[in-house]
Amino acid sequence: MLLRMSSLFLRTLREDPADAEVPSHRLLVRAGFVRRAAPGGYTWLPLGLLVLDRVAAIVREEMAGIGGQQVHFPALLPREPYETSGRWTAYGDDIFTLKDRRGADHLLAPTHEEMVTLLVQDVTSSYRDFPLILFQIQTKFRDEARPRAGVLRGREFLMKDAYSFDLDDVGLAAAYDAHRAAYQRIFARLGLETTIVSAVSGAMGGSASEEFLASTPVGEDTFVGCTACDYAANTEAVVTPPAPAVTAEHPPLEAHDTPDTPTIASLVDHANAHRLAGRADWTAADTLKNVVVRAGGDLVAVGVPGDREVDLKRLGAALGADVAMFDDFPSRPDLVRGYIGPQGLGLRYLVDPRVAPGSAWLTGANEPGRHATNVVSGRDFVPDGVVEAADVRAGDRCPACADGELTIRRGIEVGHIFQLGRRYTDAFGLDVLGADGKPVRPTMGCYGIGVTRCVATIAEQHHDERGLVWPRAVAPADVHVVAAGKAGHVQAALDLAAELTGRGLRVLVDDRAVSPGVKFTDAELIGVPTIVVVGRRLAEGLVEVRDRASGTRADVSLASVTETVLGGV
């Protein structure tokens, strides 16, 4: 491959695009890899498409390596199968739906569990046809509420989705492990540093799932690690160890006038100042904060210790529904804002695992300006259940080893693997003939990689203040030859580029009639790993070989430059 900058469809920009918040967005646009075409929709220019294709090829290769067979489903599908699985409504506004000319409902499929189940039902019949791994690399469409960060979170993107079918749980576990290992190889080859974290399954359904999160400060996901063990989890999936039940007897519930104490801080101050229940050592952790949210269509009250915030993302993940703070208090005079207590509350009431059976709390008395002490769980109120609603903080005790403390990082989800089980094979009644002549229902896994997102994530992890710094395996070219100087240098650069191309290298050559400064700036912005400058010292038979990542430079004789470059690649 030989690309000449003089004819390459490329315009680099010196200024950041106005709408770009994150480095990958800024640099991929400035270096001419992508251009915005629509809200959340990007056009891939030639250099960008080369990277995207290389990423896809690595994904395809590793999927084939674990026995995956590539297929391709339609993106536009009728409503019925998604109705059968329940996903037509489960995804809500996140999917694009449309009607065809006959008025029939269709969607642009988010993933293809339904179709792959129907296909396997159609094509297989016997236990001999299993295990089976099918995958595709396909454009997906999602009606993101807030498309952002360029191709990191767009409305149209390339995704690899894979599906495993096995006859039993042991088979599923093996398929899951094979994908897990393949994903580790894929991300390593892509130059992505990722952490595997426990995750919640969300609308996909199923039991076990893990995410591959690439650490970057701009990541939308927050995940925890442990200072003592190898526990790692998306904060959404962190399970709080339940506090032990309290068996001590408590005095009876007592209500107090606590005027102007609608916040935890004001309540604690008041309680200490007035020595409520004879104590002056009240802290926020002694109070029970009750928060009312809308979850799906219902109102739910959630109780957490007053020193914690309710994390709506965690709560939503736990409830499997979109969650929003309730704020229409005028419509519910029974809910006394700032003074809500669980006792006698006319709402479904869920508590944080720290709210142990038998524990006593300072909480609202459901009257304006009044709180109550010795409100005891199991005596004065009975929770309808336990829920992960409180925020996770650095320093929290690790739920796995109970020894270390949690640390918190941000990351981008580049892969997600699920043990689905039989949710979809049950929904469509997929059975095959077992070895014993009886029908057996296969169990499924599903496994996704955001191919487009990987490109942006690589850019997040591999850039500096001057531009992109592509890992060799995905770089748009192996070598960037820069003709820096007089006209004769262009011919020498083209000759060298031809020689390098002849040796199997993918070469970008800057043969434009612009200044060397412009060319160097563009070369560093574009980020090809090796830059060869054909310039001033050409008369002495020397060219300069630069390593984009380390910045090291060496003068090399023209006769040996090809070997030098090949040695580095």
Binding site for a second copy (CB under 8 A): 7-11, 32, 35, 37-39, 41-46, 49, 52, 67, 69-78, 93, 96-98, 100-101, 104, 106, 108, 115, 118-119, 122-125, 132, 134, 139, 141, 143, 145, 155-156
Q: Which is nearer to a second copy, 14 or 101 (CB)?
A: 101
DSSP 380: T
| Helices 169-189, 46-65: crossing angle, 10 deg rounding | 140
CA–CA gap between residue 353 and residue 371 (Å, rounded): 22
Q: Is the peptide bond before 131 cis (omega within 30 degrees of 0)?
A: yes
Instruction: Find the shortest distance in angstroms from Cβ 76 to a second copy.
Output: 5
CA–CA gap between residue 98 and residue 77 (Å, rounded): 10
Q: Which is nearer to a second copy, 97 or 374 (CB)?
A: 97
| Helices 451-461, 23-30: crossing angle, 10 deg rounding | 100
Q: Which is nearer to a second copy, 116 or 345 (CB)?
A: 116
**Distance set, CA 406 to CA 9, 126, 284, 504 (Å):** 48, 48, 21, 49
Q: Which is nearer to a second copy, 11 or 438 (CB)?
A: 11
Angle in degrees, CA 72, 78, 79, rounded to 5: 125
Instruction: Find the shortest distance in angstroms from Cβ 70 to a second copy.
Output: 6
Q: Which is nearer to a second copy, 76 or 518 (CB)?
A: 76
What are the helix (H) ranges across 113-168?
113-123
Instruction: Find the shortest distance in angstroms from Cβ 54 to a second copy.
Output: 13
Q: Which helix (H) or strand (E) holds 503?
A: none
CA–CA gap between residue 10 and residue 31 (Å, rounded): 8
**Number of neighbouring beta carbons within 10 Å of residue 349:** 20
Q: Which is nearer to a second copy, 52 or 372 (CB)?
A: 52
Instruction: Find the shortest distance in angstroms from Cβ 93 to a second copy.
Output: 4
Instruction: Find the shortest distance in angstroms from Cβ 510 to a second copy.
Output: 15
Instruction: Find the shortest distance in angstroms from Cβ 129 to a second copy.
Output: 8
Instruction: Find the shortest distance in angstroms from Cβ 40 to a second copy.
Output: 9
**Distance set, CA 256 to CA 270, 276, 385 (Å):** 11, 8, 28
Q: Which is nearer to a second copy, 42 or 447 (CB)?
A: 42
Would you mind telling me the total number of residues written for the chain in this entry?
569
Instruction: Find the shortest distance in angstroms from Cβ 337 to a second copy.
Output: 30
Calculate the CA dihedral of residues 263, 269, 274, 277 and round it to 10 degrees.
70
CA–CA gap between residue 13 and residue 27 (Å, rounded): 9
CB 373 within 8 A of CB 277: yes
Instruction: Find the shortest distance in angstroms from Cβ 94 to a second copy.
Output: 8
Instruction: Find the shortest distance in angstroms from Cβ 143 to a second copy.
Output: 5
Q: Which is nearer to a second copy, 98 or 382 (CB)?
A: 98
Instruction: Find the shortest distance in angstroms from Cβ 443 to a second copy.
Output: 18
Q: Which is nearer to a second copy, 305 or 316 (CB)?
A: 316
CB 467 within 8 A of CB 27: yes
Instruction: Find the shortest distance in angstroms from Cβ 551 to a second copy.
Output: 30
Alpha carbon 140 to chain centroid distance?
Answer: 15
CB 405 within 8 A of CB 395: yes
CA–CA gap between residue 256 and residue 282 (Å, rounded): 15
DSSP 465: T
φ, ψ for residue 400, nearest 5 deg? -85, -55
Please give the structure tokens belonging to residue 450. Answer: 């955001």
Q: Which is nearer to a second copy, 109 or 479 (CB)?
A: 109
- Three-state DSSP at 206 gives coil
Instruction: Find the shortest distance in angstroms from Cβ 105 to a second copy.
Output: 11
φ, ψ for residue 86, nearest 5 deg? 90, -5
CB 390 within 8 A of CB 352: yes
- Three-state DSSP at 268 gives helix
Alpha carbon 319 to chain centroid distance?
Answer: 19
HSE toward the beta carbon, residue 10, CA cutoff 13 A: 24
Q: Which is nearer to a second copy, 94 or 563 (CB)?
A: 94
Instruction: Find the shortest distance in angstroms from Cβ 317 to a second copy.
Output: 21
**Distance set, CA 499 to CA 496, 564, 565, 566 (Å):** 5, 13, 11, 11
Q: Which is nearer to a second copy, 7 or 550 (CB)?
A: 7
CA–CA gap between residue 386 and residue 328 (Å, rounded): 25
Q: Which is nearer to a second copy, 32 or 415 (CB)?
A: 32
Q: Which is nearer to a second copy, 134 or 197 (CB)?
A: 134
CB 388 within 8 A of CB 278: no
Q: Which is nearer to a second copy, 151 or 375 (CB)?
A: 151
Instruction: Find the shortest distance in angstroms from Cβ 148 to a second copy.
Output: 15
